[in-house]
Amino acid sequence: MICIDYSKEKGSSVITDFISVLPTVTPSSRISQEAAIPHSRPCSSRTPGSGPIAMSCFEKEGGWSLSFAGAGFLSLYHVGVIHCLRQRAPRLLRGASRFYGSSSGALIAVSIVSGMSVDLCCSRILAMVKQVEQLSLGVFQPSFMPVETVRQGLQDSLPADIHILASQRLGISLTHWPSGENFIVTDFATRDEVIEALVCTIFLPFYCGTIPPTFRGKRYINGTLSNNIPFSDSPSTITVSPFHGTADICPQSSSASTHELNVFNANFQISTKNFFLGISSLMPSSPEVVADSCRQGYLDALRFLERRGLTEEPVLWSFVPKEPPAPADGTPVAAHDRGLSLNWAVPNVLVKDVPDFEQLSPELEAALKKACMRAPSTWASFCRSGPGRALTYLLLPCTLPFEYIYVQSRRLVAWLPDMPADVRWMQDLLRSLALEVYSRTKAPLLSFVKTSSSRLNQS
């Protein structure tokens, strides 16, 4: 499979040729030391995963970028990372040349560019989680419409000049359909173009619908399917992912597995934790569990900063029983090479290790608690109770057909303005598919007919 990573700026294009359609599985000894050994490049290199970021990259503003991987409902992890950087190392956000993102990671990137508050980000994401929680069939309920919800949220929250703020500061990963080529969009002419690009990058076929949305007259789907951690010509990119792997900021795994799955320009550790994280990204559990991913993002970002000496004082050691070891030359505690400075002794702290997260980040904890609150009405409380859920499931055979008809009717009415263009696109797609099948089967069929006729003549 050929995947093209294309950026409009400077006319540059990077072609990544995957060896085969199937993802590759490779043994890795890096994960056992730290799951966050970087996917990004030192300033002197552009090879993904070549090593930790050199500290000299942060000396000059614009010398680095941030890239947020697709995460689905776990994008709240990115919110925790951003809040930690904003609170403890604001220069990393102010001095970044560009913010890249694919799928839900692009929504987080645009929130940075537009200056959204942490309270708004938490409320938007957890509102969708609570909506899924209220549905009897979860994401399989006909009334679950993620694209429409995200589109309306963007219309309500993005400023009028977002296209000006986002141009050359925001990079959105898109997958062209049906070629599968990857495009990174960095220039936007209007506010609607920003929204259209964001809708395209979150569109997961069959999960969000069947007809891909359009951007500048072409069809695009989820950017994760071709480039999960996008970047362009930045000297160094800080990568963020809520999955165990080799991103700069990601959960550190305690699994004994030393194998990685290399797919979509990203490395994932093969482990049961990542498997369940993948399920949670598409089918979230309770808002409280998703909120913990935000807290873990804050802790992982803090570990990233402390291991690189980018914070004023160490904080994570206060959550572990042992004292920090004294660094000594020639030991794994401190590493210095070509401008690189890493303190591997900084502990990995989990959310369960923090007794009171409010002391660590009062603003983030207040935003999460506020966003997790449910409606206090009696009917809402009854629906969340055991008897209420049992009654909902018992009535499901009666209510589901009417709900399906109502939802599909609304979608049909909303689809009417785009119907002619979509019908023409489907006709062209079917025509090209038929021609492809015909061209592939023409030669074998002619050969078969000739062989059969020759046998008949001989007989």
State the Cα–Cα distance between residues 14 and 34, nearest whole angstrom.
Answer: 29
- The overall average pLDDT reported for the chain is 81
> Rounded to 5 degrees, what angle do the CA atoms 125, 71, 23 make?
165
Q: Looking at this protein, which amino acid is placed at residue 293?
A: S
Position 136 scores a pLDDT of: 86
Query: Among residues 372, 401, 436, which one ends one of the domains?
Result: 372
pTM: 0.81
- pLDDT > 90 in the chain, percent: 46
Least confident segment among 45-49, 195-199, 376-380, 406-410: 45-49
In a domain, 264, yes or no: yes
Position 57 scores a pLDDT of: 63
In a domain, 379, yes or no: no
Total domains in the fold of the chain = 2
The domain in which residue 232 lies consists of 2-321+330-372
Q: Is the pLDDT of residue 125 over 50?
A: yes
Q: Assess whether 155 and 251 both reside in one domain.
A: yes
Contact 97, 275 (CB under 8 A): no
CA atoms 389, 391, 393, 398: torsion sign: negative
Q: Assess whether 428 and 287 both reside in one domain.
A: no
Q: Assess whether 288 and 155 both reside in one domain.
A: yes
In a domain, 360, yes or no: yes
State the Cα–Cα distance between residues 121 and 199, nearest whole angstrom.
Answer: 17
In a domain, 380, yes or no: no
Section 326-353 average pLDDT: 64
Query: Among residues 341, 372, 403, which one ends one of the domains?
Result: 372
Taking residue 346's Cβ as centre, other Cβ atoms within 10 Å add up to: 24
SS3 category, 238: strand
Fill in the DSSP letter of residue 269. E
How would residue 47 be classed by pLDDT, with cut points 50, 70 and 90?
Answer: very low
In a domain, 381, yes or no: no
Extended strands (E) in 200-353: 214-215, 218-221, 237-240, 259-263, 266-269, 334-337, 340-343
Q: Assess whether 309 and 394 both reside in one domain.
A: no
Q: CA neighbours within 13 Å on the CB side: how many for 342?
A: 20
Q: Assess whether 141 and 89 both reside in one domain.
A: yes
User: φ and ψ at 78, to 5 degrees?
Assistant: -65, -35
Fill in the DSSP letter of residue 349. -
In a domain, 421, yes or no: yes
Position 341 scores a pLDDT of: 63
Q: Assess whether 414 and 288 both reside in one domain.
A: no
Taking residue 49's Cβ as centre, other Cβ atoms within 10 Å add up to: 19
CA-wise closest residue to 113 among 226, 6, 217, 197: 197
User: 410-436: per-residue pLDDT in tens?
Assistant: 989 988 998 999 999 889 889 988 988
Q: Assess whether 270 and 397 both reside in one domain.
A: no
End-to-end CA distance of the chain: 47
State the Cα–Cα distance between residues 85 and 121, nearest whole angstrom.
Answer: 15
Q: Assess whether 360 and 392 both reside in one domain.
A: no
Q: Is the pLDDT of residue 279 over 90?
A: yes
State the Cα–Cα distance between residues 120 and 156, nearest whole angstrom.
Answer: 11
Which CA distances in Å does 210 have to 203, 268, 352, 375, 426? Answer: 9, 28, 40, 33, 11
In a domain, 377, yes or no: no
Contact 351, 289 (CB under 8 A): no
**3-state DSSP helix/strand/coil % of the chain, to nearest 5:** 50, 15, 35
Q: Assess whether 411 and 363 both reside in one domain.
A: no
Q: Assess whether 403 and 344 both reside in one domain.
A: no
In a domain, 251, yes or no: yes
Q: Assess whether 181 and 309 both reside in one domain.
A: yes
Taking residue 81's Cβ as centre, other Cβ atoms within 10 Å add up to: 29
State the Cα–Cα distance between residues 172 and 202, nearest whole angstrom.
Answer: 10
Contact 421, 212 (CB under 8 A): no
Q: Assess whether 35 and 86 both reside in one domain.
A: yes
Section 245-268 average pLDDT: 81
Least confident segment among 10-24, 111-125, 238-252, 315-329: 10-24
Extended strands (E) in 326-366: 334-337, 340-343
